[in-house]
Amino acid sequence: MAKITTAVLQKMKQQGDKITSLTAYDASFAKLFADEGVEVLLIGDSLGMVLQGHGDTLPVTVQDIAYHTRCVRAGAPDAFVIADLPFMSYASTEQAFASVTPLMQAGANMVKLEGGDFLLPTVQALTERGVPVCGHLGLTPQSVHLFGGYKVQGRSNKQADAMLRQAQALQAAGAQLLVLECIPVELANRITAALSIPVIGIGAGAGTDGQVLVMHDLLGISSGYIPKFSKNFLQQTGEIRSAIRQYVADVKSQSFPAAEHSFQ
């Protein structure tokens, strides 16, 4: 794999070449994913659930993310690596500065934070200081207790208009990438078309510029609930490397996500 940068991802959006992304937490899987052409590796705070066994992502620390970022970077030196900022690690701009430092030093190319308007000063301040930022709108897992569970966001016209405005504001503040999670397909398509930066979807339909899944969901080994937007590619192919290869092929061809993995 050639080295993936923000410029490469931007060019992929412009050319209509779908971006593939998976969560990764260790060097071995990171190398496998990169070898099979996955462009973006996300050290998600999902590790709190799939690795640590918690019921949500809230207990994850910056130190946890930094450790796994270092592991992933060692296995995939040319992949584009995004590190999540955990719950309450960016409640203020000054706190965000302190939190991003160990993540970037561990090998992240970009940090991801959840939320809209309240984050705009922080996004601007980070990008001004050389820290690339990925926004995250829709179902933001760190706010799961506020939402009352893992529920689709942006169904009403008012919510949809507000999310589009927030996406545009994040881009204007300097965000270079945006993740949309669990929102209706029509809204995801509106936001993707309105932004010049790449938009990565998870439970947002096939019209976004790329897709991301939690690797444990893709392999069908997550304990408990498997979300509607996921697909067990290991069950389909019978072998891990083939499962990753099929995921990449299906995202590139826009056969995944299909209607059954999306929200109307």
Q: Which phi and psi angles does 79 have, rounded to 5°? A: -75, 160
| Integer angstrom CA distances of residue 110 from 128, 178, 200, 210, 230 | 13, 11, 14, 17, 24
What residues contact 119, with CB distance under 8 A and at least 6 apart?
90, 113, 135, 170, 173
Q: Is 36 annotated as a binding residue?
A: no
DSSP state of 51: T
Q: Which two tokens stand for residue 245?
A: 């290869």
d(CA 144, CA 7): 33
* First-to-last C-alpha distance (Å) of the chain: 35
DSSP assignment of 137-177 equals: EES-GGGHHHHTSS-----SHHHHHHHHHHHHHHHHHT--E
- Helix, strand, coil percentages for the chain (3-state, nearest 5): 45, 15, 40
39 is catalytic: no
Residue 255 assigned ligand-binding role: no
What is the DSSP-derived secondary structure letter of residue 263? Answer: -
Q: How many helices (H) and strands (E) does the chain have?
A: 12, 8
- Assess contact for 73 and 109: CB atoms under 8 A: no
The answer to whether 45 is annotated as binding is: yes
Q: Is 18 annotated as a binding residue?
A: no
Query: How far lies 213's CA from each of 95, 219, 227, 264, in Å?
Result: 28, 10, 10, 19
Q: Is 112 annotated as a binding residue?
A: yes
Which of 181, 186, 239, 260 is an active site residue?
Answer: 181
Task: Point out the annotated binding site for Mg(2+).
Answer: 45, 84, 114
Q: Mind telling me the catalytic residues? A: 181
Task: Point out the annotated binding site.
Answer: 45-46, 84, 112, 114
Task: Point out the annotated binding site for 3-methyl-2-oxobutanoate.
Answer: 45-46, 84, 112
